Structure formats: structure tokens, C-alpha cells
């Protein structure tokens, strides 16, 4: 008589297998962009039969949606770690901008850019939208604390500053200089918005 497989063991096995597939997909995406993340390529990289992927993901687009979610969670964690225990809202904003741009320097943002070119399954769109809101939620509180009456306006200017600095860093400009410029520009701009609303 064969021993019974306990429920926890089955769950652990499934979680381990799913992690194996996610890691395979992530490494493929990092090496060759989103186009390299196909069901057969992921299965081959993970050392599994192609059909086994469908036990965990409905399609390669579903797998990519999970990669996007995981990458946003990773980015969110980085941002929060960079500002951990920072009380001064302006210092928080400066450090948040620095970490957001360090993510660009590290090249991880290219993964998200690549993954975002894939059409997301409709049933995953709300999850991904929530992930974006969670990311932006990490900067909302300090923007409120500095006294901005229109936090969304402040957020738009900070995001635009990061976007421009990202392009400049990607173009080969000195990252440390671009990060410093972005911080100074954003803080000066936020202070100007405060003066204007007073």
C-alpha cells in the first residue's frame, strides 16, 4: 500500500513547480525580452513538459501577467526599503526618486517595459492596475504631508521628472548626476507648487 500524499505536500509541490516556471520565464525575459517567453521555451528552461505549464497558467500571456505582478511587487519593496523610517517628507521624496531611478540604472525597468508590450488577459487587468496603484501609493503620503492641496498634480510632476531622467540615463548620461538633478528639480518644483497654492 502506497503512502498517502499529504495536502501540505501537494500544495508545496505545486508552489515549487510554479516558482520554477516563473523563474524560467523571468530568466528568459531578462535575456531575450518578452518575445522569448513562450510556453515551449519556458517548459524547456524549467525542464518540464510543455503541457505541464497549462496546469499553472492558462497561456503565456497569463504567465507574463504574473511576471508583471511579481516585478511590480519587487519594485514596490525596493521603494519602501529605501524610505524605511524616514520621517521628513521632503527627504522621503528625495530618497524615493533616487531608488526609482536606481531601478532604471540596474536595468530592471527594461523588463517591465518589455512585459508591458504583451496584451494582458482581461481577467488580469484589474490585478495589474492595482499593482500600479500600490506602487504610486508609496509616494502619496509624503506629498500630502508637505501640504499639497492637489496631490495628483504633485505626483504627475514627480513622475514626469523621473520619466525624463530615465530617458537621459538610458541615453548614457551619468546616472549619479541625473539622479541628483531629478531630486533637486522635483523638490524645487514641489516647493513652487506649495508657494503657488498658498
Q: Rounded distance, CA 41 to CA 50, Å? A: 9
In the structure grid, which three cell numbers stand for residue 116, read together? 508591458
> What per-residue confidence (pLDDT) applies to 145?
95
Query: Mind listing the pLDDT tens digit for each residue in 30-53?
Result: 787 777 888 888 889 988 888 888
Q: What is the DSSP string of 40-85?
A: HHHHHHHTS-HHHHTTT-SSHHHHHHHHHHHHHHHHHHHHHHHTTT
> What per-residue confidence (pLDDT) applies to 169?
94
Determine if the pTM surpasses 0.75: yes
Write the burial class of residue 16 (CB in 10 Å: 0-12 exposed, 13-18 middle, 19+ buried): exposed
In this structure, are residues 53 and 111 in contact, taking their beta carbons and an 8 Å threshold? no
Query: Mind listing the pLDDT tens digit for each residue in 124-180?
Result: 778 878 888 888 889 999 999 999 989 999 999 999 999 999 999 999 999 999 999
Helix-helix angle 39-46:60-82, to 10 degrees: 70
Q: Which has the closest alpha carbon to 66: 58, 178, 158, 193?
A: 58
Q: Rounded distance, CA 100 to CA 75, Å? A: 8
Q: Which has the closest alpha carbon to 186: 146, 149, 159, 150?
A: 159
Characterise 45 by phi-psi region: left (phi > 0), alpha (psi -120 to 50), beta (else). alpha
> What per-residue confidence (pLDDT) applies to 31?
82
In this structure, are residues 158 and 97 in contact, taking their beta carbons and an 8 Å threshold? yes
Amino acid at each position: 500500500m502506497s503512502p498517502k500524499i499529504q495536502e501540505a505536500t501537494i500544495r508545496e509541490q505545486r508552489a515549487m513547480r510554479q516558482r520554477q516556471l516563473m523563474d524560467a520565464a523571468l530568466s528568459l525575459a531578462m535575456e531575450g525580452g518578452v518575445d522569448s517567453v513562450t510556453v515551449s521555451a519556458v517548459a524547456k528552461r524549467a525542464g518540464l513538459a510543455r503541457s505541464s505549464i497549462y496546469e499553472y497558467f492558462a497561456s503565456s500571456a497569463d504567465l507574463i501577467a504574473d511576471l508583471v505582478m511579481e516585478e511590480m511587487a519587487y519594485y514596490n519593496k525596493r521603494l519602501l526599503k529605501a524610505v524605511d523610517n524616514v520621517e521628513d517628507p521632503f527627504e522621503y521624496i528625495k530618497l524615493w526618486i533616487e531608488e526609482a531611478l536606481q531601478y532604471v540604472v540596474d536595468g530592471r525597468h527594461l523588463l517591465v517595459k518589455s512585459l508591458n508590450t504583451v496584451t494582458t488577459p482581461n481577467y488580469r487587468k484589474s490585478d495589474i492596475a492595482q499593482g500600479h496603484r500600490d506602487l504610486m501609493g508609496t509616494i502619496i503620503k509624503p506629498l500630502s504631508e508637505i501640504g499639497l492641496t492637489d496631490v495628483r498634480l504633485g505626483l504627475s510632476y514627480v513622475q514626469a521628472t523621473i520619466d525624463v531622467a530615465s530617458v537621459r540615463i538610458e541615453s548614457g548620461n551619468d546616472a549619479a548626476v541625473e539622479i541628483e538633478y531629478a531630486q533637486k528639480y522635483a523638490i524645487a518644483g514641489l516647493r513652487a507648487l506649495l508657494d503657488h497654492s498658498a
